[in-house]
Structure 1
Amino acid sequence: MRTFLNGKEMEFSEFGYEYVFIKPYQRHTQDMIKRENGDQLHLQLYDNGVQIRTLMGKDEINTLINRDIAVDEVNNKIYILEPGYQAEYNPDGSINIKLNAE
């Protein structure tokens, strides 16, 4: 199974990844649209402005998030960044998130 996140191929995780929102949300809605060919489009909308769209086909999964993201491969987390935040990658593949000092 090939997996893509914001256009970049990433390692498939059987147990998935946890989304970590830098800007918390209070409410969200989601919907699943099933296509005749068996593909599914999963839409997630959050009141903090984040939109996540995932197209699941038989051979690959494509996810688009309307924010910059950072993937922590050690802890299977996807950090959804807000303006002013950046990710520092550690040699082991984990991540530290910090606010840019301007």
Structure 2
Amino acid sequence: MKSCRQCYSNDCAKLCHRPLCARHPDGRPRGPRHKPSSFLVYLAITAAHADGRASFSHAELAERTGQSRRTVQNAVENLKRRGLIEVSRQGPTEAATYVPLTPWRRQRD
């Protein structure tokens, strides 16, 4: 029997064929949202942005974080989807420029 991907309970697995798990009525999506690979990429981007340079290719980010290029690509997409980074490119062959966002901090007036 498969268990629920969020709470790892066998009782919940019977109901998880629907978009939302019955055990999680607050509307959180099933599956892991916090991925260690995304966290490492976010830390690398934040550290580089503090130095004034946050322009990397996926290969450079992979080298800095010790992950594969494909894992970095997935992590960047995950971070963009969650609103934690902004990505811009000057051209199709240029390295991307990353800006780390901090949505949990309040904006001062």
Q: TM-score, normalised by structure 1?
A: 0.23
Greater per-residue strand proportion: 1
Of Structure 1 and Structure 2, the greater helix share is in 2
Q: Which has the higher contact order (CA 8 A, sep 6+)?
A: 1
Larger CA Rg, structure 1 vs 2: 2
